[in-house]
Amino acid sequence: MIEAKGLTKRYGSTLAVDNLSFTIEPGRVTGFLGPNGAGKSTTMRLILGLDRPTSGSVTVNGTPYAKHRRPLTEVGALLEAKAIHGGRSAYNHLLAIAQTNHIDKKRVGEVLELVGLSARAKQRAGNFSLGMGQRLGIATALLGDPSILILDEPVNGLDPEGILWIRNLLKHAAAQGKTVFVSSHLMSEMALTADHLLVIGRGRLIAAAATSEVIELSSGNHVRVRTPNPDGLTRLLDDKGASVTRVESDSSLSIHGLTIEAIGELAAANGVILHELSPVQASLEEAFMELTEDAVEYRAPGTAGDGIPT
Amino acid sequence: MNLALFRDVFAAEWTKLRSVRSTYWCGLLAIVVGIGFGAAISAGNASEYKSADLIDKVMFDPTALSTAGLFFAQLALGVMAILVMSSEYSTGTIRTTLAAVPQRGYPLAAKTALLALIGTFVGVGTAFASFFVCEPIFKHYDIPRDVSIGAPHVLRAVLGAGLYIGVMVLFALGLAVIIRHTAGAITTLVGIVFIVPIVTQLLPDSWQEHFSRYLPANAGSAITSTVHQSNSLPPWGGFFVFVGWAALSLAVGWYLLRTRDV
C-alpha cells in the first residue's frame, strides 16, 4: 500500500507535482499514466525518499520510505534502465545491493535466473542492451522479495517476448497480493496490464479509476449506424438530443449521447431500416488523450471520474 | 550509529570497489609512480649534491626526496576516491544506493572508512618501499647524512608521507560528494593540490606565512620533511590542519548528500 497526501514538489519556479493525494492498493496492478513531463518519475522518486517533497507526505506500508531499516524487503523499485557501472558485472552489482539490506547471497542467483540473465551474470554490464538493462533493473527490484513494486517504464526497450514476460510478472505479483505500481506511456500495454489507473497531467491528479471505467467514460465511445435513410434518422436522433456525425468515407453515422438500445428502438418505432447498429469503444489511448489534453484546466477530483469530461 | 547496518553497507561498498578495474589501475599506478618517481627524484638530487650551494646542502632532505614520488601518486589514489563517488552519479547507481540505504550517512561513512584503510595501506606501504629503494642511492652518492630509518625524524617522515595519502583520499572523496562529476572533482583536486600552491608562491612572503602553509597539500606535507622549512607548519601540526581540511570536505559533502535530491 502506498499512500500520498497532498504531495507537492517544486523545482525553482516549476511545480513538478501539485498536491497529489492517492492510495495504491495491494492486490492489483495500478498503472501510472501521464504525458511526458507530467511528474510521474518525480512522484516515484518522492515515494522512495530520493527527492524531498516541498509539502505533503507519502508512506509505504504505513511508514515513510526512509524510516524502513531494510527498505528493499518492503519496496522494490526500477527507476531507470542501465543504472549500473559499465565495468561491473550484473552479479556484483546485485550482490552489493543485497549486502546493504542483509539479503542472502543465494537470492542474487535466484533473481538473475528469474529475469533470464544467469548466462551473462559475470560479464561486464557495459555491453548490455537496453532490454538486458531493464531485466537487470527488474532483478534489482525483486531482490528483497518486497510486497510493493514500483516500476518506471519497465517495458521500455523490451522485445515482444520481454513485454509479455513483464505483463505476466506484474499480474502474478498482484495476484499474490503485492502492490504493483507501474508507469508507462504505452497505453495499449497499460490497457492489458493495469486493473486500475492513476492519470496525472502537469503534476496534478486527473483521474483515479478502474481501467475499464476510464475507457467507458471516454467520449470516444459511440454507436455506429448504417441506414439507407440517413437524413430521416438524423432528424429523429436530433429530436432526441443526440449528436450525430456523418462519416463520409462509408456514409455511416456516428452517434453520441444515446444508448445503442434507444437508437434501435427509435429506428424500429419509426420504420427506419438499419443495415448496421454497433457499439464502438474508445481505446485507452483515446481516453488518455482526452483526459490529458487540457490537463491544467482540471482540478484534482476527489473521486474517480470527476475530472473526465463527457 | 547502527553497527550492524554499517557492517552491511561496508561489505557492499567493498564489493563495489573490488569489482571495477579502475580500482586496480589507480592502485597500481600509485605504487609504480610513488616508487619510480621517488627513485628518479632521489637519484637526480643526490647526483647534484656535491655541486650544490651551501644552503641547498643544509636543506638537503634525503627522506623527503625518497618519498617525493607520493606527491604524484596522490593523484592516482585521489582519482580512485573520486570515482568511488562520482561514478555513482554518472551511472545513476546513486539512486539505487540511496534507495537501498535511505540513511544516507552510512554509504558515505562506509566509503570513507574503506578509502581511509586502502589509502593509508597503499600510502604507507609505498612510502616505506620507496624509502628503502632510495636509501642505497644516497649511500652510493656518499651523502654525508645518516640516511636510515633509525635516524632522527626519519621514521615519522616516512610514516607521515603514507598517512598523508590516507588523508588525501578522504579530502578527494569529499570533493567528489560535493561536486558529483568526475572531471569537475579531478580538476578541483589538481587545482587545490598542484596549482594553488604554485600561485601562492607569487604572493609576498608575509602572505605565504599566513596563508600558503595552511593550504591542504602544504600543511599535510610538512610531516614528510626531516629538515624544518621556515615557511611551513610543524610536522604534526600541519598534518592535523590537513586532517581538518579533509574533515571539512567530508562534512560539507555529508551535509549536501543528506539534503540534496538525487
Q: Is B217 on the interface with A (CB under 8 A)?
A: no
Cα separation, A174 vs A180, whole angstroms: 6
Per-residue confidence band for B193, with pLDDT thresholds at 50, 70 and 90: very high
Q: Which has the higher per-residue pLDDT, A155 or B176?
A: B176
| Residue A307 domain flag | no
Tell me which residues of chain B, numbers 81 to 100, contact chain A at a CB-CB cutoff of 8 Å. 87, 91-93, 95-100
The reply to whether A125 and A273 lie within a common domain is no
Average pLDDT over residues B36-55: 94
The reply to whether A31 and A80 lie within a common domain is yes
Indicate yes or no: CB of B22 within 8 angstroms of CB of A87.
yes
Per-residue confidence band for A285, with pLDDT thresholds at 50, 70 and 90: confident
Facing A84 at nearest CB: one of B11, B12, B91: B91
Over 60: is that where the pLDDT of A309 sits?
Answer: no
Q: For residue A157, which of A179, A177, A138, A178 has the smallest C-alpha distance?
A: A138
Number of structural domains (chain B) is 1
Least confidently predicted of A241-245, B130-134, B216-220: A241-245
pLDDT at B40 (0 to 100): 97
Q: Which has the higher per-residue pLDDT, A306 or A146?
A: A146
CATH assignment of the domain containing A95: 3.40.50.300
Number of structural domains (chain A) is 2
Question: B32 vs chain A: nearest CA distance in angstroms?
Answer: 23
Over 60: is that where the pLDDT of A79 sits?
Answer: yes
Three-state SS for A63?
strand
Facing A95 at nearest CB: one of B15, B87, B96: B15
A-chain CB neighbours of B87 within 8 Å are 85
Helices and strands (H, E) in chain A, number of each type = 10, 13
A-chain CB neighbours of B100 within 8 Å are 71-72, 97, 100-101
Over 50: is that where the pLDDT of A53 sits?
Answer: yes
Per-residue confidence band for A308, with pLDDT thresholds at 50, 70 and 90: very low
Cα separation, B207 vs B220, whole angstroms: 19
Q: Is B200 on the interface with A (CB under 8 A)?
A: no
In which domain, by residue range, is B198 found? 3-259
A-chain CB neighbours of B11 within 8 Å are 99
Least confidently predicted of A41-55, A248-262, B103-117, B182-196: A248-262
The reply to whether A154 and A253 lie within a common domain is no
Q: Which has the higher per-residue pLDDT, B228 or A74?
A: A74
Least confidently predicted of A267-281, B85-99, B157-171: A267-281
Cα separation, A303 vs A207, whole angstroms: 8
pLDDT in tens, A169-189: 999 999 999 999 999 877 778
A-chain CB neighbours of B110 within 8 Å are none
Over 90: is that where the pLDDT of B155 sits?
Answer: yes
Indicate yes or no: CB of A85 within 8 angstroms of CB of B91.
yes
Per-residue confidence band for A298, with pLDDT thresholds at 50, 70 and 90: very low
In which domain, by residue range, is A269 found? 222-280
Burial B62-96 (b: 16+ CB within 10 A, else e): bbbbbbbbbbbbbbbbbbbbbbbbbbbbebbbbbb
| Residue A217 domain flag | no
Q: Among positive and negative, which fits the CA dihedral A153, A157, A161, A165?
A: negative
**How much of chain A exceeds pLDDT 70, in percent?**
94
The reply to whether A55 and A172 lie within a common domain is yes
Q: Is B202 on the interface with A (CB under 8 A)?
A: no
The reply to whether A244 and A230 lie within a common domain is yes
The reply to whether A21 and A138 lie within a common domain is yes
pLDDT at B210 (0 to 100): 80
Q: Which has the higher per-residue pLDDT, A213 or B171?
A: B171
Indicate yes or no: CB of B100 within 8 angstroms of CB of A100.
yes
Q: For residue A25, which of A57, A50, A1, A58 has the smallest C-alpha distance?
A: A1
Per-residue confidence band for A282, with pLDDT thresholds at 50, 70 and 90: confident
pLDDT in tens, A84-113: 999 999 999 999 999 999 999 999 999 999
| Residue A181 domain flag | yes
Average pLDDT over residues A233-239: 92
pLDDT in tens, B91-148: 999 999 999 999 999 999 999 999 999 999 999 999 999 999 999 999 999 998 888 9
Facing B102 at nearest CB: one of A71, A83, A93: A71
User: Of how many residues is chain B composed?
Assistant: 262
Mean pLDDT of all residues belonging to chain A:
89
Q: Is B54 on the interface with A (CB under 8 A)?
A: no
The reply to whether A53 and A114 lie within a common domain is yes
Over 60: is that where the pLDDT of A303 sits?
Answer: no
Helices and strands (H, E) in chain B, number of each type = 13, 0
B-chain CB neighbours of A68 within 8 Å are 102
The reply to whether A21 and A161 lie within a common domain is yes
Facing A92 at nearest CB: one of B4, B19, B103: B19
Indicate yes or no: CB of A85 within 8 angstroms of CB of B16.
yes
Q: For residue B217, which of B206, B198, B203, B226 has the smallest C-alpha distance?
A: B198
Q: Which has the higher per-residue pLDDT, A220 or B56?
A: B56
Q: Which of A99, A124, A140 to mutate to test the interface with B (most CBs of B within 10 A)?
A: A99
Question: B98 vs chain A: nearest CA distance in angstroms?
Answer: 7
Over 90: is that where the pLDDT of A301 sits?
Answer: no
Average pLDDT over residues A234-251: 88
The reply to whether A149 and A232 lie within a common domain is no
The reply to whether A179 and A239 lie within a common domain is no
Indicate yes or no: CB of A100 within 8 angstroms of CB of B261.
no
The reply to whether A61 and A164 lie within a common domain is yes
Average pLDDT over residues B75-98: 97
